[in-house]
Amino acid sequence: MSTSSRFDYNKTNDRAIINGEMKRQRQRSGASQPPASATPKRSRQRLRGLKTRRAILRKAVNLASLEGLEGLTIGRLASTLGISKSGLFAHFGSKEDLQCAIVDEAREVFIEKVVRPAHRFRGLGRLRILCENWLSYGKKRVFPGGCFFSAASLEFDDRPGRVRDQIVELMKQWLENLEQAARDAKAAGEIRREVDVRQLAFEIQALAMGANWSSRLFRDPGAFRSAGTAIFQRIEQAKEPMQPRK
Amino acid sequence: MSTSSRFDYNKTNDRAIINGEMKRQRQRSGASQPPASATPKRSRQRLRGLKTRRAILRKAVNLASLEGLEGLTIGRLASTLGISKSGLFAHFGSKEDLQCAIVDEAREVFIEKVVRPAHRFRGLGRLRILCENWLSYGKKRVFPGGCFFSAASLEFDDRPGRVRDQIVELMKQWLENLEQAARDAKAAGEIRREVDVRQLAFEIQALAMGANWSSRLFRDPGAFRSAGTAIFQRIEQAKEPMQPRK
């Protein structure tokens, strides 16, 4: 998996994302290197094509967050966007290509809203900011249908293929972000040495997704507050010695 | 909502489920009361029809747990079961009727595996057994695609209509089961008076669904153990005085 397709906060910036996107586009078109004979005109055309592609994907990811990824055919997207199917086929060769590109777009939004702003913090500070950003991303409905990855995970858990593989890798990477922040916090003496960072990351993710579930299903305005209470209580407990059981 | 369509552990037994099912069938066929002239032969026919319907629904609910509820058309189900579409239409008048009947079938399985066995316990005991049964139901993959309701909730959260309404009511009822057990535990002095039973139920449900997510997406055999650790730690903490924060 290439660096630019991961939830990676250390190596990701806007340039890397765009470079990664252009590299993937070249790979899809069968050219492993940019052609040496590329003229400025062709570069402008490519940039325009790239912008169109991104604009399509921004709308597609919002639609997929509402209606699911599997139901979003090229025909359905073309009719929603009011463009021709053949025009969409020029950008995405197959339904699977389109789905993978949508997951990639959702990843970039997630990095922008949740991961990158935590980059300048470390250890416990980063862990807290990652959690705060996730809750804010869910509450503000960055995607109109709620957390894209919560829905896509459950939609594709029994559909083997490239889309599922991509979702699995991104979710692993996100959990690894939480775990690494907790490991750094442990190394810095901010949380107890015996804290199981994998368990902590699992609980944070479960509670955050639970808020998304409750918010979307019950239209519950307090869902993210409930999850925040639970998550930050968990983090506080990681700082303190365990209380003996009665 | 009728008693027989709820996650209700006090009034539900096999007879009530079957009576409820027959009552709903009569309502669908437009007869509010059983016809006074029903002959034994007609009763046998109805019972046979009911058995066929249940057998179809058991397979449909398993298929829906793998592929989603929305993708399961009458045509798709007919071809999978090797029966005629017209035969299925005789049982379910529309796709929405079929989806509602599948949700109802999943509810009955859930009651049988999770809710009913906790009936003979009360308070803290019932709360623990409900959690244990949920984790066992998830781990044993009672539905081949994992928890039916976790997937259906996220699939239908943006699809207004009867199916969504039914899922919302069942999920509220399930959370109410957990809350009521916690309230009874509080009244019996088994957990602290200041415990927020709504928050506790939210956390239990989020952690259990998180286990389902991790198990299905990562094929993680330890997911239900992680959730169990977190859930039973939460319940233990509800029994103990809060530790002062550092």
**pLDDT (0 to 100) of residue A90:** 85
CB atoms within 10 A of CB B47: 12
pLDDT digits (tens, 9 = 90+) for B82-99: 888 888 888 888 889 999
pLDDT, mean over chain B: 84
Q: Predicted confidence band at B4 (pLDDT cuts at 50, 70, 90)?
A: very low
**Is A85 inside a domain boundary?**
yes
Rounded distance between C-alpha atoms, residue A17 and residue A8, angstroms: 11
The pLDDT value recorded for residue A147 is 94
The whole-number pLDDT of residue B39 equals: 63
Q: Is the pLDDT of residue A9 over 60?
A: no
Question: B246–A240: do the CB atoms touch at under 8 Å?
Answer: yes
Provide the pLDDT confidence category of residue A192 given band limits of 50, 70 and 90.
very high
Give the pTM: 0.82
pLDDT at site B22: 38
In Å, what is the CA distance from A243 to each residue of A195, A198, B18?
14, 21, 49
- A245 lies in some domain: no
Q: How far is B111 from A179, CA to CA, in rounded Å?
A: 36
Instruction: Encode pLDDT of A106-135 as tens digits.
Output: 999 999 999 999 999 999 999 999 999 999
**% of residues, chain A, pLDDT over 90:** 62
B151, closest residue in chain A (CA to CA) = A154
CB–CB of B206 and A210 under 8 A? yes
pLDDT tens digit string along B117-127? 999 999 999 99
Q: Which of B207, B216, B226 sits opposite A157 (nearest CB)?
A: B216
Measured at the CA of B99, the angle between CA A205 and CA B33, to 5 degrees, comes to 130
Predicted pLDDT at A243: 46
Q: What percent of chain B clears pLDDT 70, i.e. is strictly above it?
A: 81
A46-55, A100-109, B62-71, B135-144: least confident range: A46-55
Cβ contacts of A243 on chain B, cutoff 8 Å: 240, 243
Q: Is residue B57 within 8 Å of B63, Cβ to Cβ?
A: no
Indicate whether A150 belongs to any domain.
yes
- In Å, what is the CA distance from B209 to each residue of A220, B137, B146, B219? 17, 12, 10, 14
Q: Do B168 and A227 touch (CB under 8 A)?
A: no
Note whether residue B244 is domain-resident: no
What is the model's pLDDT at position A150?
Answer: 92
pLDDT bin (cut points 50, 70, 90) of residue B240 is low
At residue A12, the pLDDT reads: 40
Question: Which of B151, B141, B161 has its CA nearest to residue B67?
Answer: B151
List the one residue out of B107, B116, B226, B122 whose CA is nearest residue B183. B122
Helix axes B162-187, B95-110, angle to 10 degrees: 20
**For position A37, what pLDDT does the model report?**
53
Interface test with A, best of B157, B166, B196, B205 (most A CBs within 10 A): B157
Mutate to test the interface with B, among A217, A220, A229, A245 (most CBs of B within 10 A): A217
Number of domains in chain B: 1
- Contact call for B199 and A229, based on CB within 8 A: yes
CA distance A236 to chain B (A): 8
Question: H-type helices in chain B, by residue range?
Answer: 14-28, 40-67, 74-81, 85-91, 95-110, 123-139, 148-156, 162-187, 197-218, 223-239
What percent of chain B clears pLDDT 90, i.e. is strictly above it? Answer: 62
Q: Is the pLDDT of residue A36 over 80?
A: no
If one compares B46 and A51, the residue with the highest pLDDT of the two is A51
- Compute the nearest-CA separation of B218 from chain A (Å): 7
Nearest CA in chain A to B219: A157
At A96, the pLDDT band (50, 70, 90 cuts) reads very high
Partner B contacted by A229 (CB < 8 A): yes
Above 70 in pLDDT, residue A34?
A: no
Q: Is residue B82 part of a domain?
A: yes
User: Angle of helix A95-110 relative to helix A14-28, nearest 10 degrees?
Assistant: 170
- In this prediction, residue B38 has a pLDDT band, given cuts at 50, 70 and 90, of low
Q: What DSSP state is assigned to residue A113?
A: I
Contacts of A66 in chain B (CB under 8 A): 158
A7/B35: higher pLDDT: A7
Query: Does residue B245 form part of some domain?
Result: no
pLDDT over 80 at B24, yes or no:
no
Cβ within 8 Å, pair B245-A240:
yes
- Asked if residue A111 lies in contact with residue A12, where contact means CB atoms within 8 angstroms, the answer is yes
Report CB contact under 8 Å: A246, B226: no
Ranking A142-151, B86-95, B131-140 by mean pLDDT, the lowest is B86-95
Cβ atoms of A63 and A77 closer than 8 Å: yes
d(CA B95, CA B70): 9
Q: Which residue has the higher pLDDT, B245 or B172?
A: B172
pLDDT in the model for residue B94: 87
Question: Is residue A233 helix, strand or coil?
Answer: helix
Out of A36-45, A98-107, A158-167, least confident range: A36-45
The pLDDT of residue A50: 72
Whether B79 maps to a domain, the answer reads: yes
CATH for B197: 1.10.357.10
Interface A–B counts its CB contacts (< 8 A) at 127
Q: Smallest Cβ distance to A218: which of B168, B218, B246?
A: B168
Domain presence at residue B246: no
Contact A217/B171 with Cβ under 8 angstroms? yes
Residue A246 CB partners (closer than 8 Å, separation 6+):
B239, B240
Distance from CA of A1 to the nearest CA of B (A): 17
Average pLDDT over residues B23-29: 46
Q: Give me chain A's average pLDDT, please.
A: 84
**Smallest CA–CA distance from A244 into chain B, residue:** B240
Q: Rounded CA gap, B208 and B230, in Å?
A: 9
> Is pLDDT of A242 > 70?
no
Q: What is the mean pLDDT of residues A3-12?
A: 50
Q: Is the pLDDT score of B2 beyond 50?
A: no
Average pLDDT over residues B154-161: 93
* Greatest Cα pair distance in chain A: 76
Mean pLDDT (whole number) for B156-182: 97
Domain around B43 = 3-239
Cβ B206–A202 below 8 Å, yes or no? no
CB B59 within 8 A of CB B79: no
Inter-chain CB proximity A210 and B209 less than 8 Å:
yes
Per-residue confidence at A6, pLDDT binned at 50, 70, 90?
low
At B90, give phi and psi (nearest 5°): -65, -30
Mean pLDDT of A56-74: 89
